[in-house]
Amino acid sequence: MDEGSFPKPVLIFDGDCGFCTRSVNVLKRLPITAEVTPYQFADLAAYGTTPERANHEVLLVDPTGRIHGGAQAIARLLLTAGGIYAAAGWALRMPPIRWVAAGVYRLIANNRQRMPGGTAACALPPTPRESASV
């Protein structure tokens, strides 16, 4: 397989996060075509990403090797499911829904340890700016 070319999309998520794992298990019930893997077990370099980015947001690597993160990763994943799910995916890609989805995604991701199924292990590490203010 050529670097940057994959047979199907790959969804990469934080397998150490209970909330993330529960969320992915819900998505796996849909007729998606993506392979789903925790970043802790993925060859991230082969996908063109890093553990820092994969810990920060869910990623979808499309068959061309392009990486989509956060709400847009979910939108692209929904597109692969077809039907009403694809319609939701298209809606998530259109402004102003796209902007709202990005904000909601970041709010949830930044507070995932507080979400149902979340634990202290789900908390994102502080940003360098947050660490400096402590």
Reading the chain (134 residues) residue by residue, the pLDDT tens digits are 445 678 999 999 999 988 899 999 999 999 999 999 999 999 999 999 999 999 999 999 999 999 999 999 999 999 999 999 999 999 999 999 999 999 999 999 998 888 777 555 566 565 555 445 44
Inside any domain, residue 46: yes
**Residue closest to 27 by CA, chosen among 94, 95, 79, 91:** 79
- What is the count of structural domains for the chain? 1
Domain of residue 91 covers 10-127
85: number of CA atoms within 13 Å, CB side?
15
Inside any domain, residue 1: no
Inside any domain, residue 104: yes
8 A C-beta contact, residue 33 and residue 80: yes
Inside any domain, residue 3: no
Inside any domain, residue 4: no
With H, G, I as helix, E, B as strand and everything else as coil, classify residue 3. Answer: coil
Inside any domain, residue 53: yes
Inside any domain, residue 121: yes
Query: Hey, CA dihedral for 110, 115, 120, 122, is it positive or negative?
Result: negative
Tell me the whole-structure pTM to 2 decimals. Answer: 0.84
Inside any domain, residue 74: yes
